[in-house]
Amino acid sequence: MGTGGSATTLVVPTVGRPSLRVLLEALASGTPPVTEPVVVVDDRPTADGDLALGDVDLPDLRVARSGGGGPARARNVGWRLATTPWVSFLDDDVVTDPDWHARLLEDLRAAAPTVAGSQGRVRVPLPADRHPTDWERSTAGLADATWITADMSYRRSALATVGGFDERFPRAFREDADLGLRVTATCGEITRGTRWITHPVRPADDWASLRQQAGNADDFLMRALHGPAWRERAHAPKGRRARHMAVTAAAGTAVVAALSGRSRVAALAGAGWLAGTGELAAHRILPGPRHASEVRRMLLTSAAIPFAATWHSARGWWAHRDAPAWRGLPELVLFDRDGTLVHDVPYNGDPDLVRPVDGARESLDRLRAAGVRVGVVSNQSGVGSGRITLEQVEAVNRRVEELLGPFDVWQLCPHDRGEGCTCRKPAPGMVKDACAALGVDPARCLLVGDIGSDVEAAAAAGATGVLVPTGQTRPEEVAAAEHVRADLAAAVDDVLAGRF
């Protein structure tokens, strides 16, 4: 097991492929077997039934769900659940070498403080008795790809700093390069380790290469976020988009010219389309096995790919033309207790009087399911003034947890108003202490409360305050707050939408 600075949590996003079990069994049977926490994130849109992993011999295995949001969201859920210094990502269709675990720990122990990430090595087995198909050659490119998360470890602090994976990348394409660019720009270098995985070539139907053209839209998001030189920085091949657009333009010109009676222009443009399509087909057919089914597949898809690539390029350019930098979800959301999570009963020392506000449990559970940690910061001046005892406050807090579920951190101020402490809101002490207890940068923390002192405490600590007014909230407090939401559910909606 990794210790100290090399301790890691393994995160495996999955859509329920049978290969997941092969991977987990490889981890359990390695030398030595994996004993670190393993978080499998089920990204099936409707997770009907369990993944049936109960008999895999991994001592700290848990399953989380990400609701079909794609691999970026699934990985974000996984790393936010981790508490180790490192987070190691594996895809659910790879197989680790027998010594992978030992080499992983060696790679992480060897990482200098300036190293923010460690990339594993990938082999893609290709057939020995024939030339690889177009699909197999495409998969083989993973062996030399930069920063792919088929096997990638990041310091958890680096992931927190940059907000993790950008969930606007909806498929397993470019989200890894985007993260790598942000991490290397702000947190440190990414090195290549000594560990190995095998990435088999998955079966593919005739139209797999056509569906891949959706990645052209993601390339425009990369351009919006990282500028026109992003490919050089990410060591990404240039691709054939310009040629695809030229072929599409030729086809469009031929159709328009033919409809308008300009036969010569139509013939020339049609010849250009045919030449471009033929060049693409030859480029894909000549290196391959050239058997009948492969040639048929290449001819059909080569005729369609330029149009698909151009469509997705236009769609991506429009959708991402003003894309802002990714911030991600906060790591920690703190809540005021009385008036925010439960109805306010002044100086309450009776657990039986605790009544949650509408939707509190559901809102908290949504944050927990997304891997966002939750906590409570509460002024309890009744202890300092003698109206209630600390034991009564703790009994009420236990009842709050019984009704609303577990919290990752509790902070309370027992001092009376005039004691001049640094913890009583609007002072920042409780917010800072809650962040310190969980190793969270206050800039990645939100505080949701119902009065101005909650918002002021957040600002004083370097966190973000969100006001959810009640009948006790003064109008001037509402006017002064930058972020105001009608109720707790609306505040959590916007937290999970990344609007803070």
Q: Which residues are catalytic?
A: 336, 338
What tokens does 144 get? Answer: 């030399």
Question: CB neighbours (10 Å) of residue 376?
Answer: 22
Say if residue 426 is preceded by a cis peptide, omega within 30 of 0: yes
Residues 289, 307: contact at Cβ < 8 Å? no
> Quick check: 233 and 146 in contact, CB under 8 A?
no
For β-strands 86-90 and 95-96, DSSP reports them as unpaired
Q: How big is the CA angle at 251 (ends 246 and 255), to the nearest 5 degrees?
A: 145
Q: Is 138 exposed, middle or buried (0-12, 13-18, 19+ CB in 10 A)?
A: middle
DSSP-assigned states of every residue in 189-258: EEEEEEEEEE-PPPP--TTHHHHGGGHHHHHHHHHHHH-TTHHHHHT----SHHHHHHHHHHHHHHHHHH
Place of tokens 């222009």: 265
CB proximity list for 68: less than 8 A, separation 6 or greater: 43, 44, 45, 46
- Helix orientation angle between 263-285 and 292-319, rounded to the nearest 10 degrees: 110
The DSSP H or E segment spanning 90 is: strand 86-90
Report how far apart, in Å, the C-alpha atoms of 312 and of each of 70, 213, 279, 318, 478 are: 18, 7, 21, 10, 44
Give the length of the chain.
500
